[in-house]
Amino acid sequence: MIPDLGNYATEVLTAYALSVGLLVGLIALSLRRARKVRAQLAEVEDRRNRANV
């Protein structure tokens, strides 16, 4: 089901590959950042809970 890209197949497929690569990179960075922020939030909440005891 791949369309006939003619003379521009290399350019189009390269653009698709770059786009997918960038999206995967952005998702990976977002997930990594979310884990880091979640850990920081848990640490702050833990300190707050210990201070209120």
Q: Evaluate whether 31 touches 39 at the Cβ level (below 8 Å).
A: no
Q: Is the pTM of this model over 0.85?
A: no
Cα–Cα dist 40/32, whole Å? 13
Q: How confident is the model at residue 53 (pLDDT cuts 50, 70, 90)?
A: confident
pLDDT tens for each residue of 6-47: 899 899 999 999 999 999 999 999 999 999 999 999 999 999
- Is the per-residue pLDDT at 3 higher than 80? no
Cα–Cα dist 48/7, whole Å? 63
